Amino acid sequence: MDNSVSSGSLGSKLSSSRQPSVDSLSSSSTSRSDRSYHTKPDPSSDSVSTSTAFSPELRVLRDANKLAQLEEPRLLPKESIQDMAKDVTYICPFIGDIRGTVTVTNYRLFFKCMDKDPAFVLDIPLGVISRIEKIGGASSRGEVSYGLVCKDVRNLRFAHKQEGDARRSIFENLMKFAFPVSNNLQMFAFEYGQIFPGNGWKVYDPIAEYKRQGLLNESWRVTKINDHYELCDTYPAVLVVPVNIPDEELKKVAAFRAKGRIPVLSWIHPESQATVTRCSQPMVGVNGKRCKEDEKYLQAIMDANAQSHKLFIFDARPSVNAVANKTKGGGFESEDAYQNAELVFLDIHNIHVMRESLRKLKEVVYPDIEESRWLSNLESTHWLEHIKLILAGALRIADKVESGKTSVVVHCSDGWDRTAQLTSLAMLMLDSYYRTIQGFQVLIEKEWLGFGHRFQLRIGHGDKNHTDADRSPVFLQFIDCVWQMTRQFPAAFEFNEYFLITILDHLYSCLFGTFLCNSEQQRVKEELQKKTVSLWSYINSQLQEFTNPLYVNYSNHVLFPVVSMRHLELWVGYYIRWNPRMRPQEPVHQRYKELLAKRAELQKKVEELQREVTNRSASSSSERAGSPARSITPIQTFV
C-alpha cells in the first residue's frame, strides 16, 4: 500500500537491521536494508583510526556530550572528524523533519538521530555531492537551511536552528572537503590506506588479457609505440594493431584520427577471427580529406579476418551530428574512400542530451512519484529510449561479429564515451568471460579506464563546478545497460545487482583510486596504483556479497538481449532506492544468500546419497563395483 507508510514506521525501515557504524563504505547502505552488514567482513571497520586532528572546541563539544561516541560514524583509516553540529534538522522528503547530529569528516557526511529506535542514519561520502547551496537566511521558522544535490539521484536538505557559527562552519567544511580539487586538497582516496588481502590493481594485465583472447597471432601484434603515451595521450601503453602496419604508418593514421585515437583492437572472435576495433572520428572535414594510410589500415583490419570481405564501421552518432562535425574538422568515413566498408549510424545522442535526460529522470523519481502518470512521465525523460539505443547499437555490433563473422570498427567523435559503451556492451554479449566478476573488472579496466573514458571530467570528482558541460552519466548508462542484460539473462552473469550498485557508489565516493583521473597516462603520473586502493581490492575481498547464485557458466554463449522498450525497465533498485516506499518487499540479497546456502545443502545431500548408494550397491553385489563413484563431478560443474 503506497499510502501506508506512516512516519513512525519509516525511520525504523531506513536503518533497520543494520549497524550504522559498520556500513561505512557505501552511501547506498543508508537505504539498502536488504543487506545484512553484520556479518560483512569489512576490513575497514576493524581498524578504527583514532582521529587526532581535533580542534579544542570540538573536543569540548565531544566531551560534553555523553552520547557523542554513538553519534559519530566509525571512521575509516586516516579519516578524521572535521566538524560536528547538534540539533540539526534533516528535512526528509519522505518522513518529514528529523533532528539529530551532523558530523563532517574528510570523507563523509554523517547524520544520526538518536531519538528513533533504531537510530536514523544518513551516511554519505562527500564525493557524491555535486553541489551545496545555502537556502535563504531566514525561513519562516527562523531556521537556515542548505541543500545538497547528489550525483546518485537524490537531494538532501538540512536546517539549523539559528544562524550561527555552527552552521557556517559545517557549511564551510562541507564545501572544503566535498570539493577537494577546487580547494587544492588531496582526495581522500590518497589518504585511505586500507590493506586488503588482494591487490585489485593487479586484476588487469593487458598482455595477459590479449593472450586470453587468443592473440597475438599472425595478423595482430602489440606495438610499443605508445609506451610513453606519445602517439596518443588518452590511449593505454599497450595497443594491438594489424601486423602489416608498421609503427611509422601508425603515426600517420594518428594524425588523421581525432586526438590521435587510431583504430585498435578491442576483441577478437575466438573462431572466426572477426574483430571489434575502436577509434575516434576521421578528420575528414568539409573538404572530404583522405588519408591513404588510414584507408590501408582499415583494409588491413578487414584482411585480418578471412571470413568476410567486408568491414562494418559503426558510427555511434546520429548522422546529422556526424555531418555537423565536418565543420569542426571531423566527420566520417566516406564509402568511396573506404572500399568494402559499410558505414552505419547508430543514432546515440551526445553527452549533453544524456545529462539532460538524467536530470529529467531525477525530477520524475525523486522525491515523489506521480502514481497515475508514472509511465508517461518516465517516457518523457527518454532515459529508457537512450538505454535502448545504446543496447541496440551494441547488439548490432555483436550480431555482425557473431552472425556475420565480419570485423567492425566503432567510433563516435572522440571515441571515449559512446564508443566505450558500445564496445564494452558488445564484448559483454560476445564473451562470457566478461560476465564473470573478474572479467567484468577487466572489461572496465580495459575499455573504460584503459582507453581513456574521462572519468574525472564526466563525474567531476571533487570539483565544485557543478554546471560543467563535460559532466555526463555515460558510465552510469553503461551499468544500466548491463543491468538490463542481467534482467533478461538472470543466469548468465556471475555478479549480482549489488555489485553494479557498489561500482556506481564508488564511482562517486572517491574512496578508491579506480575511477580517478581521465587517462592511463594521468593515472601513471599520479601513481594511483601506489598511492590509492583499487575498488577491486575491496570487492574481491568479499566476493560472496556480489555473487549471483543463479549463475551458470555458459562458455561460448552469445547473449542477444531484446532491445525493445517493451522489455526494458527502469532500474528501480538504483534510481528509486531512496524512496522508502520502493524498498523491495523481500530482502533479495538475503534471499540470494539463502539460495546459495540451500544449494550447498542440497549438494551435500546429493553427495551423501550418492555415497550411500555407492556403498549399498557395492555391498549388495560385487559386480557393480566401480561404476557409481565418478558421479558427483557433473553436478559441481553444473552449479
Partner 1 sequence: MLTGSKTSFKIKQLVPDFKDKTLNFSNTALRSRETSDFKCLPGERVLQRTQPVRKPRAGRGSSLTGALLCTTFRVAFVPEEGVAKTEDRDSVPVFLGEHDVALASIERVVAVSPSRWKVLSARSSLRFHPEELVLFCRDLQVLRFHFEKSSAESAEITSAIARVYQPSVPASLSSFQRSALGSVEVKQYLSNRGADPQMNWFEGLQDWERELARTGATAWRVSSVNDRFEMATSLPKFNVVPQRILDTELKRTFAHFTEGRIPRWCWHHPEGSDLLRAASFQSNIYHEKHDARNLEALLFGRHPQCVIVEVGEDMPPPSEIQAAHSRLRALCLGDIPASLSVSDEKWLSSLEASRWLDHVRSCLRRSAEVSCLLAEGDLAVVLQEAEDRDLNCVVSSLVQIMSDPHCRTLPGFQNLVQKEWVSAGFRFLHRNNYTRDRDKEESPVFLLFLDCVWQLLQQFPSHFEITEVFLLTLHDRAHLPLYSTFLFNCQRERGRNTQHLSQSYTPVNGWQELVNGGLAPGSGGPSFPPVWDWALHCTPERRDSFRNPSNTPLSPGAVPNGNSETPPSRELSDCSGSGPGLVLLFSKGSLGPAPHLLPWRNAGGAASGWKNHRRAPSRDGLSRLERALKGQPLGPRGPLLPLLLGPCLRVWRGCYLRGALQTQVPPPVSSHLHVDFLASEVERLRGRLALAKGLDRHGNCKRAESRGTNQKPRQETTNHNFLFAGNRGTGCSPERRYTQTPTRGQKHPKLPP
Q: Which of 570, 574, 578, 593 binds partner 1 (CB under 8 A)?
A: 570
User: Of 151 and 388, which has the nearer Cβ to partner 1?
Assistant: 388
User: Of 73 and 573, which has the nearer Cβ to partner 1?
Assistant: 573
Window 573 to 612, contacts with partner 1 (CB under 8 A): 576, 579, 581-586, 591, 595, 598-599, 602-603, 605-606, 609-610, 612
Q: What H or E segment, with its residue span, contains residue 303?
A: helix 292-303
Q: Is 252 annotated as a binding residue?
A: no
3-state percent breakdown (helix, strand, coil) of the chain, nearest 5: 45, 15, 40
The angle, 0 to 180 degrees and rounded to 10, between the axes of the packed helices 474-488 and 497-509 is 170
Q: Which of 176, 487, 524, 529 binds partner 1 (CB under 8 A)?
A: 487
Supply 319's cell numbers: 548522422
User: Of 162 and 564, which has the nearer Cβ to partner 1?
Assistant: 564
Q: Which among 307, 242, 243 has a CA at the least distance from the CA of 279? A: 242
Is residue 624 within the footprint of partner 1 (CB under 8 A)?
A: yes
Q: What is the 3-state secondary structure (H, E, C) of 57-87?
A: HHHHHHHHCCCHHHHCCCCCCCCCEEEEEEE
Window 74 to 113, contacts with partner 1 (CB under 8 A): none
Window 319 to 378, contacts with partner 1 (CB under 8 A): 365, 369-376, 378
Least Å distance, CB 308 to partner 1, is 18
Q: Is 81 annotated as a binding residue?
A: no
Is residue 627 within the footprint of partner 1 (CB under 8 A)?
A: yes
Least Å distance, CB 576 to partner 1, is 6
- Which amino acid would we find at residue 138? A
Q: Is 327 annotated as a binding residue?
A: yes
Window 3 to 42, contacts with partner 1 (CB under 8 A): 3-6, 8-9, 12
Among the candidate windows 47-55, 83-91, 287-295, 484-492, which touches partner 1 by CB under 8 A?
484-492
Burial 568-589 (b: 16+ CB within 10 A, else e): bebbebbbbbbbbeebeeebbb
Evaluated on CA atoms 257, 417, 519, 536, the torsion sign reads negative
Q: What H or E segment, with its residue span, contains residue 421?
A: helix 418-430
Least Å distance, CB 631 to partner 1, is 5
Q: Which of 183, 186, 339, 403 binds partner 1 (CB under 8 A)?
A: 403
Is residue 572 within the footprint of partner 1 (CB under 8 A)?
A: yes
Is residue 140 within the footprint of partner 1 (CB under 8 A)?
A: no
Alpha-carbon distance of 232 to 67, in angstroms, equals: 56
CB 16 within 8 A of CB 32: no
Return the active site residues.
Answer: 412
Alpha-carbon distance of 128 to 25, in angstroms, equals: 12
Alpha-carbon distance of 51 to 53, in angstroms, equals: 6
User: Of 127 and 561, which has the nearer Cβ to partner 1?
Assistant: 561
Is residue 616 within the footprint of partner 1 (CB under 8 A)?
A: yes
Least Å distance, CB 494 to partner 1, is 13
User: Of 467 and 620, which has the nearer Cβ to partner 1?
Assistant: 620
Q: For 86-91, which contacts have Cβ atoms below 8 Å and span 24 or more sequence positions?
A: 86/61, 87/160, 87/161, 88/158, 88/159, 88/160, 88/170, 89/143, 89/145, 89/158, 89/159, 89/160, 89/161, 90/120, 90/122, 90/156, 90/157, 90/158, 91/145, 91/157, 91/158, 91/159
DSSP type of residue 434:
G
- Which amino acid would we find at residue 114? M
x/- contact string, 376-395, with partner 1 (CB under 8 A)?
A: x-xx----xx--x-------
- Which amino acid would we find at residue 245? I
Least Å distance, CB 87 to partner 1, is 29
Is residue 491 within the footprint of partner 1 (CB under 8 A)?
A: yes
Q: Is 108 annotated as a binding residue?
A: no
Least Å distance, CB 489 to partner 1, is 6
Window 501 to 530, contacts with partner 1 (CB under 8 A): none
DSSP type of residue 236:
-
Is residue 623 within the footprint of partner 1 (CB under 8 A)?
A: yes
Compute the half-sphere exposure of residue 54: CA atoms within 13 Å on the CB side of its CA. Answer: 13
Window 308 to 327, contacts with partner 1 (CB under 8 A): none
User: Of 343 and 596, which has the nearer Cβ to partner 1?
Assistant: 596
x/- contact string, 547-566, with partner 1 (CB under 8 A)?
A: --xx-x-xxxxxxx-x-xxx
Window 198 to 257, contacts with partner 1 (CB under 8 A): none
Query: In the structure, how many helices (H) and strands (E) does the chain have?
Result: 22, 14
Going by the annotation, the residues of the binding site are 325-328, 350-351, 412-418
Going by the annotation, the residues of the binding site for substrate are 325-328, 350-351, 412-418
